[in-house]
Chain A
Amino acid sequence: MISSQLPALQVVLPLVAAPLCILFHNRTFSWLLMVFVSLVSFGISCALFNQVLAENTITYAMGGWVAPWGIEYYIDKLTTYMLLIVNGIAVLVSLGARESVENEISSDRIYLFYTAFLLNLTGLLGVIITGDAFNLFVFIEIASLSSYAIISLGKDKRCLYAAFRYLVYGTIGASFILISIGLLYVVTGTLNIADLSQQLANAENTATITTAFVFFVIGIAIKAAIFPMHLWLPDAYTYSPSIVSTFLAGTTTKVFIYVLIRFIYSLYGYEFSFFHESFDNLLIIIACGAILYGSYRAIKQDSLKRLLAYSSIAQIGYMILGIALITELGLAASLIHIFNHAFIKVGLFLAVTAIIYSYGTDSIERLAGMAKTSPFTFILFLISGLSIIGVPLTSGFISKWYLIKASLEAGYWGLVVIIVFSSVLAIIYIGRVIEAAYFKPEATNTAVLNNKKMPHLLFLSLFIFSFINIYLGIETSLNVDMAFQIAHELINK
C-alpha cells in the first residue's frame, strides 16, 4: 500500500520534517532529523527507481484527483535517476554538514538553517517529480526561496547582498516562467504537462506558443545560471556557508537544466523546439560563451569557492552544448555530464568545506603549502579536480569523450576545439591550486591549521564522492546506459 503512495511521500516527507525542526529548536536534533529524512528519502527514490525499471513510467494522481484536472506526478527513467542523484547528494552532504555548519552559522540559527535546507530539498524533489506545469512553478519557488534563505546565513556579510541579488534575479526568472505557463494555459486550457504536449501539437496560435517558449527558456536560463544570465551565481556560491554552496552547486542548477530538458522534449516536443525556431544555433553560441567565459574567469580567482563557481558556469555550458547538438548522442552526452558533474562539483566543494573548516580561509594565496598539513584533503580535491579536467579513468573523461564524439558526429569541428581548449583552461585553474598547495608558501600571511580535528563524517563524505568520481570513470555502464535509454525515450516520444 505504501509503495503506491511513494511519489507523494517523496515530497511530503521532507516537507513535514521541516517544521519539526522549528518545533524542537535543537541543533543536534535538527541535524539528525535532516540525515534521517534524507536517508529515508533516498530509500524512497531507490524504490521508485526499481518500480520504474519494471513498469517504465508511473503516474500518481495527487489526492486522487485524476489528470488533467488534478495535479499529477509523472515519473519516468529520467525522473527517478535525477531523484536518486539529488537524494544521494543530500544524504552525503547532510552527513558531513554538522561541524562545518556549527563553524559557520551562528548557533542560535542552526535549527532554522536545517529547516530551510529541508524545504530546499522538498522543493527540488518536487520540481523533479511533478507532472503539472503550475505545480512545477510552485516547487521551483519553494526551492528558490529556501535557497535564498540559506545563502543569507553565511558568515561573511556579503552573503546578504548576494542572497538579495539572487532573490531579485530568481524572482524575475520565476515570474517569466509563470508568464509562460499562463500563456500556455490560454492556448490549451490545461496545465498537465503530458496533456499540454498533446494539445500543443494540435494547437494553432503559434505566436502565443512561441512567446511562451521564449519566456520559459529565459526564465529557466536565469534559474539555471546559463550564460549570460549567470550573474547571481558567483557571489551566491562564494559567500554562502560552505555546505550550502556544496549542496546548491551539486543540485540546483542540474535540476533546472532537467526542467529545461523536460520542457524542450516532453512538453514542446523535439520538432517544435528545434526545427521551428533555429533555437539550436542560439544554444550553441550560448553554450560556447558559457564554456569559454566560465573557464577563463576561473583562472584568475583567488578564492577557491569563486573559482569553483565560475567552473560551474562553464560546466553548465557543456550540458547545454550537448542539448544544442540536437542529436540523440548529443542529448545522451549532456545527460551523462549532468549526472557526472553533480558528483564532481559536490566532491570539489566538500574538499573546500573541509579546507575552510581546518584553515578558516579559502584563499589560494594564503593556503600555499597546504598539501603538507592536510595531505588527504588535498589529494581528494585533486581527484575531483582531475575529473573536471577530464583525465581518463575519471567520470569527467567519460562526459568529455561523449561530448566530443557527439560534436564530431554532428559535424561541428569548432566545438571539438572549444571543448578541448576549455579542458586546457581547466588544467590551468586546477593546476594553479595544486601548484600553490604543493609548493612551499612564499606569502607572509599563510593560513595556519587550527586545532579543530577534521570531522570524520565530513571526511567520509568527501572520500565517498572522490571514490564515486573514479568509480563512474571506470564502471560506466549504469550512467551511460541510463543516459542513452533516456535520450532515446525523450527524442522518440
Chain B
Amino acid sequence: MEGLLENFWVLLVLKLAVVALLVPVAGLIIGYGELKISAHMQARVGPYFAGGRFGWAQLIADGIKFFQKEDIIPENADRPVFRWAPTLVMLSSVSLFVVIPFGPGDPFVVRDLELGIFYALAVSSIGTLGILMAGWSSSNKYSLIGGLRAAGQLIAYELPMVLSVVGVVVLAGTMSLSGIVEAQIAFGMPYIVPQVVAFVIFMICALAEMNRIPFDMPIAESELTTGFLTEYTGFRFLFFFLAEFANMFVFAAIATTLFLGGYAPAGSEVFGIAVPALAGPVFMVAKMALLVFVMIWVRWTWPRLREDQLQTFAWKWLVPISVANIVVTAAVKVVF
C-alpha cells in the first residue's frame, strides 16, 4: 500500500479522481446549503421532502431531472461553440482545484506550482470566456447582451483582483499557494490582518467573477430572462449550474489560502502541540464554509448593481485602492 501510494502515476490518478469528484460533490453541498440558508433568511422552509429528511437529496433530484430534459440547441446557434461553452466554464473551475493546497505536503495538493496564484488567476478567467462563448453562440439577443456584459465585467474586475493579490505575494515572497500558507504560519497570523483591504477587494472581485448578486448582470433574470443561460437546457444547463457552485468553492478556497491561513494550523505547532497534517482539509473546509456562507448571505440580501455602476466602482474605487494597498505593503515590507 505504501509503495503503491508513492508511485507517481497511481498518486496522480488518485488525485485527479478526488478533484473530479470534489467539484460535483462540493457543488451539490453548496447548492443545498444555498437552498436551505436562503430559505431560512426568507422565512421559508426550503427543500423538505426529497431524500426523506431535510430535503437533503433535493439537488440530486434536480440533477437527475436535468438529465431527463431534452437537449435543445437553437437552430441558428453556432453549434460547436454552443456545445463547448459549458465545458469550458466547468473546465476552469476544475483546473483551479489543481493548485489548491488542502493540507501541508504532497498528498493534499495535486500540483504545487511555483506560480500557483498566477496560474489560479489566469485559469479562473477562462470561465468568463465560456460565458462569452455561450452568449455569442446562442443566437439570442438576451444571451448576447449577457455574454458581452460578462466580458465587460471580466475586464473591470480582473485588474483589481490581481492587484489585491499582489499585496499578499509581496508579504509572502512567493507565488506558490503552499508557500503562501507556510509564510502565514511563519508570520504568526493570517494575512487578513495586515491585508484586510486586499481581502475585501478580493472577495468583491470574486463575487463579480462568479456573476453572483450584486454582480449578476450577465444573468439578470429580471432584465435578460437569464442572460447567457437563456437557451441552455438539460445537462448543459446543469454544467453552468454546477460550475457556479464549484466556483464558489474554488474562490472560497483561494481566498482562504491567501488571507485566512489556508490549512493552518495543520502541520504546525499550536502552543507546543503539534497539529497533524491530516487535519488540514478539516481546517481548510471550515474556513471555506465561512466564506461561502458570506457569499450566500450577500446573494440573498442585496439587489443587483447596474453594469455602468459596476464599471465605475471597479475603475474609480477598487483599482486605486488596491494600488495604494500594494504601495503601502511594499513600503512597510522594505522598512521593517
Q: Do A and B belong to a common assembly? A: no
* Residues of A participating in the B interface, judged by any CB pair closer than 8 Å: none
* Residues of B participating in the A interface, judged by any CB pair closer than 8 Å: none
